[in-house]
Amino acid sequence: MSRFFSSRYEALTPYTPGEQPQERQFIKLNTNESPFPPSPFAQRMAREAAGDLQLYSDPTCRLLVETASSKWGVDPEEILFSNGSDEILYFSFLAFCDEKRPAVFPDITYGFYPVFAQLAGIAYEEIPLDENFRVRIPDYFGCGKTVFIANPNAPTGIALSKEEIEHILSSNPDSVVIIDEAYVDFGGESVMPLIKKYKNLVVIGTFSKSRSMAGARLGFAVADQALIRDLNTVKYSFNPYNINRMTMAAGTGALIDEAYFKRNCATICENRRYLTEALAKLGFETLPSSANFIFTKNAKLSGRDYYEKLKEKGVLVRWFSKKRLEDHVRISIGSREEIDILLKKTAEILEEEK
Ligand SMILES: *Cc1c(COP(=O)(O)O)cnc(C)c1O
């Protein structure tokens, strides 16, 4: 820290992203990216947009918003796009929390929530998951705080039902409830249709995972118009041109090419079942996942050892040192070929342990 660094951020611990090695070629199953390239149509639209990069991008994202509006059955005024969903999550902390309304989220969830709260100077409470790594719904009833829940949750992959989320929404009419649906396309149930019924609901999504666009940075919020206006107040106070032209065009193309998206999601779900079953035969216990990753452990191997030995063999997975998580590793669902390599290396590691 330099002597010039703001005293406001002295205690701030930034988020640690998963490793993104640029030198050696790893089988990358550590950051929940898609193993598939973006839709060819989305790529073509991005290339065409590159010819107009001398001009600022459209701050209203009109074409993208209109396309999303017709695909998702919500009004254009109920949608706001952002530079990755991380950005709109941060905007939500700024817009919907203050001294009277601190934030609340599970103790085991997306690691960015406490970082955003700290950066925004907002108090937060972390509520423990139950012994099966599930979110305990009643803990959030009438809590009087701004609720952040990832559904499916990370890094567990466990999803809540629409009814469970409705309970949280209806018992907190005076608080905003933010549902982060980064992984919903892999088997969860989206609560997007509930925005008409609950004026306190913000649904956040991303093109990073199910639409293979992590490198483009595109996220969104869907909510009642009044909440979207609040988020726009924050956006226009920060960076009106937060989405670049190529990303905007690629996002529009990805929405139009729905068949490609659906096919890839189905393949990931199929590969998830294949991987979970194969690991079970090797003695692994895996939490029930509705996401494009699994959270798994083996009594014969510590999470850390498994992670490190896989890395030596050229396969990257994610390991978290947090006490309750340290026995597990999180494995992103790759292509069938990547999974087969992971399984082969895993069998070797278990053999070497004997
Ligand atoms: C990946 C992820 C995001 C953010 O993704 P962006 O790439 O910023 O859109 C948000 N929430 C959760 C739970 C995630 O895992």
pLDDT digits (tens, 9 = 90+) for 98-153: 999 999 999 999 999 999 999 999 999 999 999 999 999 999 999 999 999 999 99
What is the pLDDT, as a whole number, of residue 19?
Answer: 84
Report percent pLDDT > 70 for the chain.
100
Measured distance CA(336)–CA(340) in Å, rounded: 6
181 within ligand 1 shell (Cβ under 6 A): no
110 within ligand 1 shell (Cβ under 6 A): yes
Distance 86 CA to ligand 1 centre (A): 6
pTM over 0.85: yes
- CB–CB of 333/212 below 8 Å? no
**Residue 23 predicted with pLDDT over 80:** no
Question: What number does the ligand 1 atom closest to the CA of 87 have?
Answer: 8
154 within ligand 1 shell (Cβ under 6 A): yes
Name the residue with the closest Cα to ligand 1, atom 1.
Answer: 182
Name the residue with the closest Cα to ligand 1, atom 2.
Answer: 182
Where on the phi/psi map is residue 133: left (φ > 0), alpha (ψ -120 to 50), or beta? Answer: left
150 within ligand 1 shell (Cβ under 6 A): yes
Measured distance CA(55)–CA(85) in Å, rounded: 24
97 burial level (CB within 10 Å; 0-12, 13-18, 19+): buried
Report percent pLDDT > 90 for the chain.
96
pLDDT digits (tens, 9 = 90+) for 159-216: 999 999 999 999 999 999 999 999 999 999 999 999 999 999 999 999 999 999 999 9
Candidate from 160, 183, 206 with most ligand 1 atoms within 8 A of CB, to mutate: 206
Q: What is the 3-state secondary structure (H, E, C) of 24-93?
A: CCCEECCCCCCCCCCCHHHHHHHHHHHCCCCCCCCCCCHHHHHHHHHHHCCCHHHEEEECHHHHHHHHHH
Q: Largest Cα–Cα distance in the chain?
A: 62
